[in-house]
Amino acid sequence: MTTTHTADDQLLAVLDEWQVAIVANDADRIGSYMADEWIMVSENGITTAERFLAFVRSGDLTHSAMRRVGEPRIRYHGELALLTTRITNTAHYQGTRFDADEWTTDVFVEEDGRWRCLLTQITATKT
């Protein structure tokens, strides 16, 4: 296995573990994969880590399913990695179910041998 494949496998493992934490609705575990300055950009605008995790802690936002589908695209730029992949998930916001099929791009930074996400960009797929 080449160094790039090893790095890809490690980064994908982090993403998969983060998704497990999201489905477990464990705000502390979810937050451990995010850098303090993490933001998510979606059709709703910008959401900070603090706000996202507050929704999870309150129970207003839960997830019951999340998985990667298709082949990811990973590119490295020094200590940064750009990971783009398609994600399907089922979320519940204030009791209303939302099924999503999205392209996500996550920007990860490697610090002290650990990948943490700085930014998540979400784009809904066309139906």
Q: Quote the pLDDT of residue 3.
A: 58
Distance CA 71, CA 87 (A): 11
pLDDT in tens, 4-28: 678 899 999 999 999 999 999 999 9
User: Over the stretch 88-119, which tens digit does the pLDDT of each residue have?
Assistant: 999 999 999 999 999 999 999 998 889 999 99
pLDDT tens-digit profile of 49-79? 999 999 999 999 999 999 999 899 999 999 9
